[in-house]
Structures are given as C-alpha cells and as structure tokens.
Structure 1
Amino acid sequence: MSDAVSPIQILRMSGDTAVGTPRIVFGLFDGPDAVADAQSVALSVVEVGNAEAEPVWQGPAKNYSDYEVPYWVAYPTIPSPGFWGVTAEVALADGRTVSSQFTLEVNAESESVTIGEPAPLSENRTLATEPDISKLNSGNDPDPAFYQLTVADAVASGKATVVGFITPGLCETRWCAPVLNSVATVRNEVGDAANFIHIEVYEDFQALTYVPEMAEWGLQSEPYIFVLDGDGQVTASLPGPVSPRELTQALNQVLP
C-alpha cells in the first residue's frame, strides 16, 4: 500500500518528448535533497482527462546512481501526442512504498535528430579552426582531445562516435554540469575505439548565442548526447543527465 501523502517529489530532467518510446529522465527528491536509496520505481501512464482510461504502458524505471545526482530512466510507449499522466510507485529503503505523479507533454515528432537518422555532417569548430580552446569550452581546464575532429571527419573515419552538446561552465543545474565528465570517463575506458567530440553550446559566452550546430541538430536545450554508429547513423539520443554507465551501455551497442 502507498502512503496517502508522498514525501517524494519527482523532477523531470529532460524534455523533447515525442510519440513512440521516448527516454524519460527524472530525479527523486525529498525537499531539496536527492533521494539516493530508493529501491525501485514502477511507472504507469494514462491519458490525462480520461479518468476511466486504462494505462497505455506500465513498467519499471532504471536507476543510474553513478552520477552526481542519482536519476531514473524509463522508455514508456506513448501512442499519440498530448498530455499524459504518470504515476510512480517508489519503493523506499525503509520498506515504505509511496506514490507520486507527474505529467508528460508529448509531441508528434521530436525536434532533434532522432534514432535511425543520419547525423548532420557538421563542420564544428576544432583546434585547427579555433586555436583558442577557451572559446571551445566554457568550463575550466578543457581537454584538447575533444576538439580534434569535426562530426564530418568522425563519420568519415568509420568509427563509432559520441557527440556531446554541453556547456559545462554555464549550465545552471547540478544534473547537467557533470555530463562532460561522464563522456571523458567513457573515452578513457574505450580509448581509440570510438571518436569523442564536445560541441560547446554557445558561440559567444557573453551574448549566449548558440553555435550553428544547435539548429543543425534541431536542439533547443542542453545537455544532449548522441551516439553514432560507424556509418554515421544515430543509435542513441540522450537528453539531460547521462552517467558513465548509461553512456557505456549505449556505446557498447555500436562498438566492434
């Protein structure tokens, strides 16, 4: 049985939700504190405004605790655009099960490049075209290894590629700033088996104007990670927080 009043609040950590099986990312919070010891989360999705509707999807969410803010991911099946209500049954470490709700606004199509589509052959800035690395990364101590290739170069290499649209120094939340750290961790593990590219979201850190690749990839927000296979097709689209373990799982699908 669930408690009548849940102490748990659910915070969505990604947007751009479209019909199909979108990646839904959320965190569990008790007031300002992240709930790190929840044992499981089961979701049920129903159409908003239809009190007698049966759930269109029910299933578990998966926990990723190897990140600064623990988060949960589910891939519910959403049959049509509109507003959908989600009930989460959260099993806590003390043995209680509590219920919490949130709403999904689902679009007919994703705004961004989607799984199965060819990646845009972007000619993003590299150290060859912009030698001042401080203009390629808004954070501290940027790693030159992320700025060696354009996306076009990476696709031409025939290797799997990870492309991250991230602004590490200007991100305003705890769940987006560490994404580049996740990418670096995975790059250190796989070495030269894949290409790794960071595209800084902003072209101008004062005016906060987006780089042209944001529009080219259909992005309205960050962080956003894409995994490409050796032919340059998108095989994973990961908006919001991404832990090393989740990125490794996505990349392993396309590594030799």
Structure 2
Amino acid sequence: MNPSQMFSRRQFFALSATMGAGAVLAACGGGSGSGGTGSTDVLKGLDGSLQIAKRFSPESIVPGKVRLPLSLADKSGVLGTDGTVTLPDELTAKVIDSETGDVILDSVTAQRYDENMSVPYWPFVFNIKKEGIYVLTLDIAPDTEVTFQVLKPSDVPMPKVGDPLPPFDTPTVDNARGVNPICTRPEGTCPFHSMTLTEALKSGKPVVYLIGTPAYCKTGTCAPGLDALIEISKILENKAVFVHADVYKDKTATEASPAVQAYKLSYEPLLYITDAQGVQIDRLDAIFDARELREVLAAAGIS
C-alpha cells in the first residue's frame, strides 16, 4: 500500500468516525423506550426513525477486547447534547454471530460519554474469541443491525494489544524530522514533543502515545482529546510519558506524516497505552472524551 492510497482511506474513516457520515444505519419505526435510563422521555422529539452512527473503524478489530463506539441520529442528523431530543444515559445491546445466528452476548451495556463534546457517544466494550462477522443490535432499536468483522491479527498491520509497541522517532521541538508543523494544536505546540516515542519507550515508565491532528478534526476528538490529555498529564505528573504525533506532513494536509506511515494507519485519532516495559496494554480509537481517557488510564494502572 503506497502512502497516498493509505491516506485517502484514512481520510474516509476519519470522516465517518467524526460525524458518522456514510455510516448511519436506520431503524424501522420511530424510537421510543428507556434505553436503560428508566425515563419515558428518552428519545422524545425524535425526527423520524432512530438511526445509528458508527464511530469506529472496521479495519482494526481482532479477537479479544472489542470496543464499538456508536452515536445516535435521526432524519435531521447526528444527535448532539444541545438538541431537543432527550438522549439515554445508557444503551444495551445483543451481539449475534451472523453465520450461525447464535446470540453470543445476550446483554452488553454502554454508558454515555460526552465530557466537553457536542456529540455524545456510547462505547460498547466486550470480548470476542474468534474471527468472523458479527451483528450488534440495540435493545432500543432491535431492527437496526450494526455489522462488524473480527479480523485475523495477521491481517491488521497496526500494533496490537499484547505486543511491544514499535519504537519510532517522532518529531520533537529539537528535530522536526521533515514535519512542519510538528503539532497542529491551535493554541501552539503541545508539551508532548520533548522526546521521541523511541526515547519514551526506554524510560521505564508507561507510555501514552497519541496520533491525531487537532487542527483538522476539531469538531471530533483530536483537539478536545489532546487538551484533555494535557490536563490529565499535569495531574499524573511523572507517572507516565506522553508523546504526540500529528498525522500530516505539512500544512497542505495532503500527505501522511511518517508516524502514520510507520504504523500503516488508515484512520485517526488513536491512543496507544503501554506498560513500563513498552508492551501495549490498551488502545482507544476514533472517539474518546476526557472521562473515558481517565478511566482507561486508571484501568492501566496510570492514575
């Protein structure tokens, strides 16, 4: 795969992850019910039928822990926190093996996340043991099917949980390595460019590595995610090393940066978390808010 092909695919998935464009699935009939909140007002004011917006990339799911963030939509578009529709605090769903029709997970739950975000999302997190094509159906909209494929690990080129995170000489304030700017954060270069990822992995501390472009997905996750990570790093002080790499090589925003090419990425943002030995123990994809960041880092022992 050459870089230009990879980047066009990255742009497609970044768009679908940001606003659900091209990834909105309609339910049959209007939405009603509690969605796990117990309130009869949930989804009141819906314009037409309830729709599901995928907020995940289909290219990186392998056996083990699966995370499928979803947003809700109706005929007017993706539903936000400032709209007139009352959104549920929790969603429940079933997971079905599409080949056999067997229900492999009868009830999985996703909490609502939207700290400092205008569009809430609900991340379903569960374990799948084998490759295959699966269907997730929301209890609140049982006629809607969200299909996802669990791939063979060998078919997914990016670093995977359980493997050592590959070192890479990310751009720093002292050596941009051909990337300009090294950080597209509107407020200026973030504090996560003082050392390379290679150096961070040798520090003997857990590493939190963000690949994302704040300037070009501000309405999605990259900018608020980076800002949240900066605040979290201040609280954690020296308990982990934080590194950021932008996804474009220059301001034209047309060519993938070396960091994106090194991991053969087709979407962003991604957040890699390692233990003190540099082994990847978790990853967040596409969308995450400050609350989920804190929870995932705490679960990784970084708190």
* TM-score, normalised with respect to structure 1: 0.85
> 1: distance between equivalents of 2:186 and 2:89?
36
Matching of residues 103-114 of structure 1 within 5 Å: 103-109=147-153, 110-114=156-160
Write out per-residue CA displacement over residues 36-61 of structure 1, whole angstroms, 9 at most, x where no aligned residue. 531321111113365xx221123112
User: What code does the residue aligned with 1:32 have?
Assistant: G
> 2: distance between equivalents of 1:241 and 1:248?
14
Distance 1:191 1:214, change over 3 A: same
**RMSD between superposed Cα atoms in Å:** 2.6
Distance 1:127 1:204, change over 3 A: same
Counterpart residue number, 1:14: 56
> 2: distance between equivalents of 1:208 and 1:3?
39
Q: Among residues 115, 123, 126, which one is paired with 1:66 in the alignment? A: 115
Instruction: Say yes or no: does 1:29 pair with 2:73.
Output: yes
Matching of residues 194-233 of structure 1 within 5 Å: 194-206=240-252, 208-233=254-279
Q: Secondary structure of 1:86's partner?
A: strand
Aligned-pair identity (%):
22
Instruction: Say yes or no: does 1:237 pair with 2:287.
Output: no
Instruction: Say yes or no: does 1:179 pair with 2:225.
Output: yes
User: What code does the residue aligned with 2:63 have?
Assistant: V
User: What code does the residue aligned with 1:74 have?
Assistant: F
Query: How much does 1:26 deviate?
Result: 1.1
Residues 44 and 88 in structure 1, CA contact (< 8 A), matched pair in contact too: yes
Task: Name the stretch that deviates more: 176-185 or 241-250.
Answer: 176-185
Equivalent pairs counted in the alignment come to 246
Query: How much does 1:25 deviate?
Result: 1.1
Q: Secondary structure of 2:65's partner?
A: coil
Counterpart residue number, 2:37: none
Matching of residues 37-186 of structure 1 within 5 Å: 37-48=87-98, 50=100, 53-58=101-106, 59-68=108-117, 69-90=119-140, 98-99=141-142, 100-109=144-153, 110-130=156-176, 135-171=181-217, 174-186=220-232
Write out per-residue CA displacement over residues 117-151 of structure 1, whole angstroms, 9 at most, x where no aligned residue. 11111111101112999611223122341110111
Residues 125 and 150 in structure 1, CA contact (< 8 A), matched pair in contact too: yes
Residues 134 and 142 in structure 1, CA contact (< 8 A), matched pair in contact too: no
Residues 139 and 170 in structure 1, CA contact (< 8 A), matched pair in contact too: no
User: What code does the residue aligned with 2:64 have?
Assistant: G
> 2: distance between equivalents of 1:233 and 1:49?
34
> 1: distance between equivalents of 2:196 and 2:112?
33
> 2: distance between equivalents of 1:3 and 1:23?
25
> 1: distance between equivalents of 2:116 and 2:61?
22
User: What code does the residue aligned with 2:197 have?
Assistant: V
Q: Secondary structure of 2:139's partner?
A: strand
Note the residue ranges of structure 1 that are not aligned, 5 or more in a row. Answer: 91-97
Q: Secondary structure of 2:192's partner?
A: helix
> 2: distance between equivalents of 1:207 and 1:47?
40
Residues 185 and 223 in structure 2, CA contact (< 8 A), matched pair in contact too: no
> 2: distance between equivalents of 1:147 and 1:159?
17
> 1: distance between equivalents of 2:139 and 2:231?
32
> 1: distance between equivalents of 2:166 and 2:129?
28
Q: Secondary structure of 1:114's partner?
A: coil
Q: Secondary structure of 2:168's partner?
A: coil
